[in-house]
């Protein structure tokens, strides 16, 4: 099976048409936390037309954009920062109300910063300490504790994107932090013909994957948060094996060739990581935000994946 890649698209990048022409590019992901100057409908319509025009994917016969290879990444129950906060001892407003036993640890910066939470009040984390920097809006927060309960699933922004997709005839949805069939049902209640990629990012998500496989949508090993949520870092290796065993067509995402965002030659560990993923059966990769912000880095990542994939076609 040949390798294919989904590319995260900055909404105002001027190189999308060129990337769409790369032979291993099968789709684009719009990260819905990115700021816009347009309405949700306008940005989706513009991106679909740019990408489809060069990528050779025709619009649907009804005039919609259901065939355009643009996946809208909904945040679901993923915890993110709303507004800015300056520690120490401060409050952080979250995208969802939560309940959790305190004190408890919260993780910022892709799991690299651990902060003690003294108390929780609805959608507010009251921090006991750090991180000793400004915490900005849109940052993800991980609380890995069995008592954690997150109220609600889809955010208002998620719902606005789904409404715009329905108007345009778009169908391709990625859903973050999938843990239950109810998560899928909520999306389909707003977009009945949704074609879904289910992002597995927690232990409960892994349990869902083992139980249901690809019955409710194609699975994705979303390693950005999954790496943090397994708590003991080495367990991410068995987690990605669990997902590909549950769905032979699963996608693997995040932390892929990220060193290219900072230097022209990837580090050895990145090469070994891709080789491991190919060895255990992954054939569809999704490049994350960091490596996709500049034309040079995303094209280099695509070229490297193409070369490495030739041994597994």
The Cβ-side half-sphere exposure at 206, using a 13 Å CA radius, reads 17
Which distant-in-sequence residues (6+ apart) come within 8 Å of 284 by Cβ? Answer: 3, 4, 5, 6, 26, 249, 250, 251, 252
CATH class of 4-77+152-312: alpha beta
Query: 0.85 cut: is pTM over it?
Result: yes
CA distance 1 to 248: 11
pLDDT band at 231 (very low <50, low <70, confident <90, very high): confident
Which distant-in-sequence residues (6+ apart) come within 8 Å of 245 by Cβ? Answer: none
CA distance 34 to 49: 19
Neighbour count for residue 122 (Cβ, 10 Å)? 11
For residues 68-97, give the mean pLDDT: 90
CA distance 43 to 214: 30
CATH 2.40.33 matches 91-150: yes
Q: 58 or 123: which carries more pLDDT confidence?
A: 123
Q: 253 or 56: which carries more pLDDT confidence?
A: 253
Of the given ranges (134-138, 156-160, 165-169, 257-261), which has the lowest mean pLDDT? 134-138
What is residue 170's DSSP assignment? Answer: -
Annotated domain spans of the chain: 4-77+152-312, 91-150
Q: Kind of pairing, strands 104-108 and 98-99?
A: unpaired
pLDDT digits (tens, 9 = 90+) for 34-78: 889 999 999 999 999 888 765 444 444 444 566 779 999 999 999
Q: 57 or 200: which carries more pLDDT confidence?
A: 200
For residues 191-215, give the mean pLDDT: 97
Q: What angle do CA 178, 252, 254 make, to 5 degrees?
A: 85
299 pLDDT above the threshold of 60: yes
pLDDT band at 274 (very low <50, low <70, confident <90, very high): very high
102 pLDDT above the threshold of 60: yes
Closest CA to 173 of 238, 287, 263, 76: 76
The reported pLDDT for the residue numbered 207 is 98
Q: Are 119 and 65 in contact (CB under 8 A)?
A: no
Positive or negative, the CA dihedral 45, 47, 50, 51 is negative
Distance, CA of 305 to chain centre = 19
Express as a percent the part of the chain with pLDDT over 90: 83
């Amino acid at each position: 099976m040949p390798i294919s890649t989904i590319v995260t698209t900055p909404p105002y990048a001027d190189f999308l048409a060129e990337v769409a022409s790369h032979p291993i590019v099968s789709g684009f992901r719009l990260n819905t936390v990115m700021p816009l100057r347009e309405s949700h409908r306008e940005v989706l319509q513009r991106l679909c037309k740019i990408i489809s025009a060069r990528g050779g994917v025709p619009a649907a016969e009804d005039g919609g954009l259901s065939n355009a290879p643009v996946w809208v990444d909904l945040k679901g129950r993923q915890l993110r920062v709303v507004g800015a906060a300056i520690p120490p001892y401060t409050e952080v407003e979250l995208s969802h109300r939560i309940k959790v036993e305190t004190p408890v640890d919260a993780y910022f910066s892709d799991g690299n910063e651990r902060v003690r939470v003294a108390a929780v009040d609805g959608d507010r984390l009251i921090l006991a300490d750090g991180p000793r920097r400004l915490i900005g809006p849109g940052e993800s927060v991980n609380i890995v504790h069995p008592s954690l309960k997150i109220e609600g699933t889809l955010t208002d922004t998620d719902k606005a994107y789904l409404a715009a997709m329905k108007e345009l005839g778009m169908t391709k949805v990625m859903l973050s932090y999938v843990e239950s069939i109810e998560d899928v049902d909520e999306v389909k209640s707003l977009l009945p013909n949704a074609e879904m990629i289910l992002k597995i990012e927690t232990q409960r998500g892994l349990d869902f994957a083992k139980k249901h496989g690809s019955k409710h949508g194609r699975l994705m090993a979303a390693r950005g948060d999954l790496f943090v949520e397994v708590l003991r870092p080495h367990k991410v290796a068995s987690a990605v094996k669990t997902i590909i065993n549950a769905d032979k067509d699963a996608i693997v995402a995040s932390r892929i060739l990220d060193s290219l965002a900072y230097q022209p030659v990837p580090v050895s560990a990145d090469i070994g990581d891709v080789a491991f993923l190919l060895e255990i059966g992954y054939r569809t990769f999704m490049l994350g935000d960091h490596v996709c912000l500049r034309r040079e880095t995303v094209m280099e990542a695509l070229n490297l994946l193409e070369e490495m994939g030739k041994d597994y076609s």
